[in-house]
């Protein structure tokens, strides 16, 4: 029997792998067992939901707070020589320069800028990888001793530290790494430890891995995006009337979805939501409509927050995720959360956001897309909505022409009205987004990923 060892520490992996055909394929292979290293507070939940005679869950050792890991993560991310990282350095300094300990902030900014300039040189990037690889680490040795794995799979290279990959390489165990998302190589990792094979979603990400991560092109394999298979197949989609009623809405009205993007834009998001809700009440949105607020997975709304927002804004608000445990990372892509996401995308009439993967997902459903490029109240550029589409991955998306980026309140209302009245507006651009950002539209990306893993396993 051959053994695959997989470490994961966030619920994106649950959606991106455990709920796809890739996991189902591996779990059905009789002479293969899969050992997952997962967060302690979720072990019982995972054992119950993904139970199989050949699937095992072990408690993941805590490593992200190790001083050496934090140090190398700082060096790694600051050295990514992308426009995105350069802007993030400036944004961080602008947001904190007026606070206490400003001298410390200024010193950190100077260090980051120096590392960013060094990051343009391949020799510097190679030195970081070499020094990190030589750093001794035995964190995962007990699992290698106990299970004697034939293959190690690192499913989220941006968030998973390299200790397990280092252990595998020292022991001569085959390895597969995977880039989790479209923006990771621009801002989150330069691939600190190389795996034998790197799986990416698209040709675009493969080019990034070669250019920014120095990864050999011949060892990069493109799979497509497994978690999008259900979108292309249109599985788990319930009738529109049933969905709208389930969230407390009116099926006779159009559905405007506002997708909260993340931590960097929360101060803008709520002001735009209030603006949209006022426009609906005043009749400036000409078609009868209702607004659904969609939370970012990492920052799901608590019951208290949902009650507050319903009262304050008067819009539809639902929890976006399941929750397991008590920690700040207790959010969970359970089956209900995945279904809610798919139906939100399927039944939205217009999608509005600052910056988010939701633009890509909504494009797969051919929904009018509106990006907010202005602020409801005056603020400096580095805290403003104006700077987000200067990030590399969003600039690339913008060039495809499927998103209406609005720069004023009046243009936002005009864009919403256009999207509701003429859903085919910018349709060709959305098709380009779909092909560029997902590459495969056949609903078989999970199968491709499964075949890639089994092929490497069989060669071990």
Burial 317-338 (b: 16+ CB within 10 A, else e): bbbbbbebbeeeebbbbbeebb
Predicted local confidence at residue 353, as pLDDT: 95
Dihedral (CA of 371, 377, 378, 381) sign: negative
pLDDT value for 177: 95
Q: What's the farthest any 2 CA atoms get from each other in the chain? A: 67
Q: 3-class SS at 406?
A: strand
Question: In this predicted model, which residue has the larger pLDDT, 425 or 311?
Answer: 425
Strand bridging mode 254-259 / 220-222: unpaired
User: Contact, 367 vs 351, CB < 8 A?
Assistant: yes
Query: The dihedral of CA 56, 32, 21, 208: what is its sign?
Result: positive
pLDDT at residue 303, as a whole number: 86
Rounded Cα–Cα distance for residues 42 and 10 (Å): 10
Strand order in the sheet with 254-259: 316-317, 289-294, 254-259, 350-353, 369-372, 403-406
> What was the pLDDT predicted at 103?
80
Q: Indicate the SS3 state at residue 69.
A: helix
Nearest to 199 by CA among 20, 385, 384: 20
**Nearest 10 degrees: Cα torsion 283, 287, 292, 294:** -110
Q: List, as one string, the DSSP characters of 311-374.
A: HHH--EE---SEE-SSSTT-EE--HHHHHHHHHHHHH-SEEEESS-THHHHHHHTT--EEEE-S
| pLDDT at residue 325 greater than cutoff 70 | yes
What is the distance between the alpha carbons of residues 376 and 412, in angstroms, rounded to a whole number? 11
Least confident of 103-117, 166-180, 348-362, 376-390: 376-390
For every residue of 19-57, DSSP letters joined together read TSHHHHHHHT-TTEEEEEEE-GGGHHHHHHHT--TTEEE
What pLDDT, on a 0 to 100 scale, did the predictor assign at position 376? 79
Say what the pLDDT of residue 96 is. 64
- What's the helix, strand, coil split of the chain in %, to 5? 50, 15, 35
Rounded average pLDDT over 186-215:
96
Domains of the chain, CATH where assigned = 2-65+130-225+443-458 (3.40.50.2000), 235-438 (3.40.50.2000)
CA distance 285 to 41: 45
406-428 burial, b if ≥16 CB within 10 A, otherwise e? beebebbbebbbbbbeeeeebee
pLDDT of residue 265: 74
The residues near 71 (Cβ < 8 Å, ≥ 6 apart) are none
Mean of per-residue pLDDT scores for the chain? 92
Mean per-residue pLDDT, 42-65: 90
User: What values do phi and psi take at 190, rounded to 5?
Assistant: -115, 25
Q: Judge whether 228 and 342 are in contact, CB under 8 Å.
A: no
Contacts for 375 with CB less than 8 Å, ≥ 6 apart: 268, 271, 384, 385, 386
pLDDT at 62 over 90: no
* pLDDT confidence bin for 329, thresholds 50/70/90: confident
Q: ∠ CA 274-277-278 to the nearest 5 degrees?
A: 85
**Among 7-21, 210-224, 254-268, which stretch is predicted with the lowest mean pLDDT?**
254-268
pLDDT of residue 245: 97
What pLDDT, on a 0 to 100 scale, did the predictor assign at position 136?
Answer: 85
Q: How far is Cα 460 from Cα 449, in angstroms, rounded to an integer?
A: 17
Instruction: Return d(Cα 26, Cα 33) in angstroms, integer.
Output: 8
Residue 99 has pLDDT above 70, yes or no: no
The pLDDT assigned to 123 comes to: 97
Tell me the DSSP string of 156-225: -TTTS-THHHHHHHHHT-EEEEE--STTHHHHT-S-SS--SEEEESSHHHHHHHHHHH---GGGEEE---
- Report the pLDDT averaged over residues 183-204: 95
Q: Find the range with the poorest average confidence among 55-59, 134-138, 217-221, 324-328.
A: 324-328
For the segment 161-168, the average pLDDT, to the nearest whole number, is 91
> So what's the pLDDT on residue 24?
94
pLDDT band at 98, cuts 50/70/90? low
Number of H helices, E strands in the chain: 21, 15
Pick from 189, 146, 140: nearest CA to 167: 140
How many C-alpha atoms does 161 have within 13 Å on its Cβ side?
A: 23
The per-residue pLDDT for 34 is 97
Which residue has better confidence, 305 or 344? Answer: 344
The pTM of this model reads 0.92
């Amino acid at each position: 029997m051959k053994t695959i060892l997989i470490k994961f520490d966030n619920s994106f992996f649950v959606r991106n792998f455990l709920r796809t055909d890739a996991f189902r394929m591996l779990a059905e292979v009789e002479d293969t067992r899969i050992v997952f290293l997962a967060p302690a507070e979720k072990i019982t939940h995972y054992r119950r939901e993904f139970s199989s005679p050949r699937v095992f869950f072990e408690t993941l050792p805590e490593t992200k707070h190790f001083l050496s890991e934090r140090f190398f993560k700082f060096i790694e991310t600051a050295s990514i020589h992308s426009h995105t990282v350069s802007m993030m350095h400036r944004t961080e300094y602008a947001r904190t320069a007026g606070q206490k300990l400003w001298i410390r902030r200024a010193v950190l900014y100077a260090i980051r800028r120096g590392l960013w300039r060094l990051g343009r040189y391949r020799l510097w990037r190679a030195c970081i990888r070499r020094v990190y690889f030589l750093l001794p680490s035995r964190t995962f040795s007990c699992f290698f001793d106990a299970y004697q794995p034939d293959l190690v799979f690192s499913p989220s290279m941006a968030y998973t530290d390299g200790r397990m990959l280092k252990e595998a390489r020292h022991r001569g165990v085959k390895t597969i790494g995977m880039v989790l998302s479209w923006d990771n190589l621009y801002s989150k990792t330069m691939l600190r430890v190389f795996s034998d094979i790197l799986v990416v979603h698209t040709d675009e990400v493969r080019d990034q891995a070669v250019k920014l991560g120095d990864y050999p092109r011949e060892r990069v394999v493109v799979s497509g995006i497994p978690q999008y298979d259900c979108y292309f197949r249109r599985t788990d989609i319930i009738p529109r009337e049933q969905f709208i009623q389930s969230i407390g809405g009116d099926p006779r009205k159009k559905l405007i979805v506002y997708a909260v993007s993340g931590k960097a834009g929360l101060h803008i998001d709520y002001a735009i939501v209030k603006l949209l809700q006022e426009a609906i009440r005043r009749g400036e949105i000409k078609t009868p409509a209702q607004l659904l607020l969609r939370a970012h997975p990492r920052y799901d709304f608590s019951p208290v927050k949902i009650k507050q927002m319903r009262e304050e804004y008067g819009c539809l608000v639902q929890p976006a995720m399941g929750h397991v445990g008590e920690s700040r990372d207790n959010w969970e892509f359970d089956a209900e959360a995945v279904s809610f996401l798919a139906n939100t995308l399927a039944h939205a009439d217009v999608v509005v956001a600052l910056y988010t993967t939701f633009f890509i997902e909504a494009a797969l459903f051919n929904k009018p897309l509106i990006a907010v490029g202005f602020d409801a109240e005056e603020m400096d550029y580095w805290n403003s909505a104006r700077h987000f589409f200067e990030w590399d991955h969003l600039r690339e998306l913008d060039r495809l022409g499927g998103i209406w980026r609005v720069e004023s309140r009046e243009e936002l209302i005009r864009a919403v009205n256009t999207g509701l009245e003429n859903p085919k507006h910018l349709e060709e651009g959305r098709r380009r987004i779909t092909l560029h950002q997902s590459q495969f539209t056949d609903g078989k990306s999970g199968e491709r990923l499964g075949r890639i893993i089994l092929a490497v396993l069989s060669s071990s």
